[in-house]
A = this chain, B = another copy of it.
Amino acid sequence: MSTDQLIIADRSFTSRLLMGTGKFANNQLMAEAIRASETEVVTVALRRVDLDAPQDDMLAAIDTERILLLPNTAGARDAEEAVRLARYARMAGCPSWVKLEVTPDPRYLLPDPLETYKAAQILIKEGFTVLPYINADPVLCKHLEEIGCATVMPLGSPIGSNKGIKTRENLRIIIEQSHVPVVVDAGLGAPSHAAEAMEMGADAVLVNTAIAIASDPAAMARAFAKAVQAGREGYLAGLGPQSSLASASSPLKGLMWE
């Protein structure tokens, strides 16, 4: 599998599991889970780190030689807030990549298609590499691709719901039509959900809650890592079609002594 690389903008990655850093009980559990996941991209809410303090515990726990820190705009309620957060991060020395999240409603944290599009336009013009978190909306995905987003990140189900892929019909169309990597984000609550996304042909997945709230986060991170590989390898190995009739695994042409 060494030649099967995920390429986003100008960087390539071996791991197809992106990881979020919210909700961990403490930084040590987080660091262990990141190591176990073998992830190469870790998202961090801008509001959670003090970017001026290089000794910040949380960042210290992440090996930034090997791992891309991807700031996200979690908490931004409209384009203006999101843009401001992204700019601030860059001023503070972050790379110019940003996971764009615009979520006006705190109850379900669903993304805003209009404000996300507007923020993406502005940030791309300013030279940012933009990875937008969005509903599984195929037409919106095409628009975001056209203005230069580096990926699309459609949700599987609402953030933190653990419900898995509830947007299968649209996701299938997005994957079929996209020319940028499709990263399934939000709602993946079990390793099988991540495997399923990869089997559909997604390029990567992002997982946070399911790992962070597991009884054993590092073990769960390892499980997700294997599931992502399993799904990817299953996809590449050529899954068979579903059938309504049975099809004997064993030949049935009469018993042995007949």
Contact = CB atoms under 8 A, between A and B. Distances in A.
Contacts of A105: 138-139, 142, 177
Interface in A1-53: 20, 22-23, 45-48
A233 interface: yes
A250 B72 contact: yes
Contact of A190 (B135, B234, B249): B234
Given A199-B190, A210-B240, A248-B109, A163 B159 contact: no
A84 B172 CA distance: 33
Contacts of A112: 139-140, 143
A216 B237 CA distance: 5
A215 interface: yes
Given A110-B173, A226-B226, A237 B251 contact: no
* Most chain B CB inside 10 Å of its own CB: which residue of A138, A237, A252: A237
A215 B195 contact: no
Given A143-B114, A159-B248, A161-B243, A219 B237 contact: yes
Interface stretch (A59-67, A73-81, A124-132): A73-81
Interface residues of A, number: 102
A225 to B, nearest CB: 8
Interface in A162-206: 162-163, 166-170, 172-173, 177, 189-193, 195-196, 199
A55 interface: no
B209 A199 contact: no
Contacts of A142: 104-105
Contact of A85 (B45, B233, B247, B255): B255
Contact of A22 (B113, B138, B217, B250): B250
B163 A169 contact: yes
A138 B159 CA distance: 14
Contact of A220 (B88, B220, B234): B234
B160 A257 contact: no
B169 A168 contact: no
Listed from nearest, the 5 A-B pairs whose CB atoms lie closest are A215-B238, A160-B247, A45-B250, A22-B249, A74-B250
Given A110-B139, A192-B230, 12 more contacts: A20-B249, A22-B249, A72-B250, A74-B248, A108-B245, A110-B137, A111-B139, A161-B242, A162-B240, A166-B168, A192-B196, A226-B226
